[in-house]
Structure 1
Amino acid sequence: MTSTNPWSWADDQLVSFNLVRDRSLVDLLRFYDADPAGARTVMRKESDAAFGLPDEGTVLRVGRAGAWSFCFENWLPVGFDPGLLERLSAGTDTIHYFRNPKGGRFVNHLRDGRDLERFELGMPPAPSEEAPLGLHRAIEQRAGEMEKGLDYPEHRALWEVLSELVGVRLDNALVNGPLLTVLRPSGPLRYDTQGPAAHGNGPVSSPPVGGPSRRGLGRSLGPLIPWKPEVPDGR
């Protein structure tokens, strides 16, 4: 059955998705401690047929979205590991989405190893020193503009906002389409051999898409996300 929700891929029981500005796909796989030489470009249905739900390890599917790269996992993920997120964001921006089996949907924006904005969809954001992308504000605004009766409007709003940020629709067609795919064996992440020390802390050069980019903003969201200082909510 065809879903009418273009973002249904992100509502699987367990999803980890990292969106990283100006990283190559090869470097992204290396940060995950996976072997790029073993990766193949396949559709998601082919990946599911080949790997299923592996007893050990996690299936990594990586692709490009404008000047950003992303990695999708939906079984035994490692993408939420704090050390990995810190290293992915070294010298650049990383946006992390995690959907846990209990239904919680969590978003982080990290820059240069720092956690700048962190929240659960539908809940107030955690206190932060700055929120340069203003994701929570933009999502709440977009969700409020959606038609009444939609199931979980914040979830749909998140992917609309991120798609505008990178200039590419992060929808079912993209995530379920042909992506570079590899099985990462189980085991801890070996930061000393596969992290920034081996591959550089700074971002990998990538041609701008849709005009010049601004640090941390990629494709500009314009007035959709005006920057204002965060006011701690006292939690």
Structure 2
Amino acid sequence: MDVEQWTWAGQERLAGFCLTFVQNREPAAVAAALGADSLTLMTLAEADQAYPISRPGALLRLGAFGNWVFCFEDRAPIANRPLAITRLSQGTRMLQVTKSGDGMVIVRDVVDGRKAEMFEPGGAVYVDGPLRPRIAALPPANSRIVAALAVVGDEVGANLDRATLDGLLATALSTLKEPAGQR
């Protein structure tokens, strides 16, 4: 497990973000589940120009590691909302790490719409499972977000560095709105 690969998440300018991994799906299917109808290959700089932060919506940046697709959102994430979680995990497994603007970290493992595990590293446990003790076993020098990403990344076989996130990825803007009462 390469913990160092994930240090960008603890040092980053990002106040919050959501990183979702979905097994046995194509990037277009993940984007569609999140309300985006088309993907364009872009660098982060090109995406920021095409979809300025002043434009409402969630910027989806997608790629793949083996049989897992990742979706990274660092503005107005939607993949961590209940309807999106149900759509993304339908018939498959979804692993997700969310860091909120206030620094709270949530790890989710959802299989076919059912929470297999959900917890805050070093904090509340909503549904316990095997990822939590793996994160807790990492040296305390690692931040909660870095530890969570390292373990989830190890689980899916992904080492996602900042250069990959800044580079050429399938990109879309989603303005998906959940029905009232679904948040």
Smaller-chain TM-score bracket: 0.7 to 0.9
Alignment partners' CA distance in 1, 2:139 and 2:142 = 11
Alignment partners' CA distance in 2, 1:151 and 1:25 = 30
Alignment partners' CA distance in 1, 2:145 and 2:105 = 8
Counterpart of 1:18?
20
- 1:26-41 alignment, distance < 5 Å: 26-36=28-38, 39-41=39-41
Assess if the C-alpha contact under 8 Å between 1:58 and 1:78 holds in 2. yes
Counterpart of 1:167?
157
Counterpart of 2:101?
101
Assess if the C-alpha contact under 8 Å between 1:33 and 1:189 holds in 2. no
Deviation, structure 1 residue 5: 7.0
Deviation, structure 1 residue 166: 2.0
Assess if the C-alpha contact under 8 Å between 2:115 and 2:127 holds in 1. no
Deviation, structure 1 residue 124: 4.4
Alignment partners' CA distance in 1, 2:9 and 2:48 = 13
- 1:77-226 alignment, distance < 5 Å: 77-128=77-128, 131=129, 134-143=130-139, 150=141, 152=143, 154-184=144-174, 186-189=175-178
Question: C-alpha offsets along residues 196-219 of structure 1, whole Å, 9 cap, x if unaligned?
Answer: xxxxxxxxxxxxxxxxxxxxxxxx
- TM (norm. structure 1) is 0.67
Equivalences, count: 174
Task: Write the letter of the residue equivalent to 1:188.
Answer: K
Alignment partners' CA distance in 2, 1:81 and 1:124 = 19
Question: C-alpha offsets along residues 185-206 of structure 1, whole Å, 9 cap, x if unaligned?
Answer: x34258xxxxxxxxxxxxxxxx
Counterpart of 1:68?
68
Report the structure, 1 or 2, having the larger strand content.
Answer: 2
Assess if the C-alpha contact under 8 Å between 1:7 and 1:172 holds in 2. no
Identical aligned residues as a percent? 26
Structure 2 stretches of 5 or more lacking a match? none
Structure 1 stretches of 5 or more lacking a match? 145-149, 191-235
Alignment partners' CA distance in 2, 1:32 and 1:108 = 17
Alignment partners' CA distance in 2, 1:44 and 1:24 = 20
Alignment partners' CA distance in 1, 2:71 and 2:148 = 17
Alignment partners' CA distance in 2, 1:177 and 1:116 = 32
Task: Write the letter of the residue equivalent to 1:143.
Answer: P
Assess if the C-alpha contact under 8 Å between 2:19 and 2:72 holds in 1. yes
Alignment partners' CA distance in 2, 1:70 and 1:189 = 22
Deviation, structure 1 residue 117: 0.8
